[in-house]
Amino acid sequence: MSDQAAYDVESILLSLKELVEAGRSMPMSASVLVNREEFLELLEESIATLPQELRHSRWLLKEREEFTSTRSSPPSRSCSSGRCRRSRRGASASRS
């Protein structure tokens, strides 16, 4: 992330923090009232400011997770193992 992009994201997040801090407190609660439209606008702006590399890395992590989950399932019984190849060689040698 470039220094400018990092600064942009940081300034947007600080604006969100200020919006929450300045919001009207709800009585007998930790909740606060904020302008939904203003908050969502700042949030969308911060998401748009995130670099493409971050989005790509999240996609890669998802792909890796899907791949490893399919690889962790029990292997099907096939003749690709060395034991199966040895047994085939033994069977062909006994036929001759």
Query: Residue-wise pLDDT tens for the chain (96 aa)?
Result: 667 767 788 899 999 999 999 999 999 998 999 999 999 999 999 888 877 777 778 888 888 888 888 876 655 555 555 555 555 555 555 555
* pLDDT value of position 56: 77
* pLDDT value of position 91: 54
pTM reported for the whole predicted model: 0.49
* pLDDT value of position 33: 92
Helices 36-49 & 3-22 angle (0-180, nearest 10) = 160
